[in-house]
Amino acid sequence: MNRQIQIFLSYSGTKGPAQHVIVVRQVANLCKEVLEHRKWTCLDPMSSRDSENIHQRIVRELNSADGLIAEVTLCPPNIGLEIGYQIALGRPVVCLIRDDIKELMEQDEVFRKHIELTGATHERPLPTDLGDLQFIDYPSDLTSESLSGNFMWDCIVFAA
């Protein structure tokens, strides 16, 4: 019997300027829709309301995940840790990043300072070198149809 593919969803639904947080939550929800449509399990430790410690839940779900999708535009440390954990387990990682990051840095002082503080740039979105990762730009007005279209080839990585 084949086991259902499980994908860990890594994102921060609380950090950053309010408008960015709204977009990140939309992306997370769209990822869940696409994974559900593919009959894959989405492991989202932020959506569980049980009494298990969040750290224990994250470690348990990272260990059982077949791969990871991460929203990395602001790349809080927890997301870097989750990406590194999956890489250490030899599991595939796909990173999503807003395509308007340069405009956001010009328009929003808080956003710009955060990006500068982490040492990340649009060309190098993560403040650390975690190897050969795939980065997929997404528009802030992303829809489930456009997300699904972009994922058609990217999800092959997880199926292999």
**Residue 156 pLDDT greater than 50, yes or no:** no
The predicted model scores a pTM of 0.80
At 159, is the pLDDT very low, low, confident or very high (cuts 50, 70, 90)?
Answer: very low
Question: For the chain, which domains are there?
Answer: 6-153 (3.40.50)
**Residue 144 pLDDT greater than 70, yes or no:** no
Q: For 43-58, what is the mean pLDDT?
A: 83
**Residue 57 pLDDT greater than 80, yes or no:** yes
How buried is 71 (Cβ within 10 angstroms: 0-12 exposed, 13-18 middle, 19+ buried)? Answer: buried
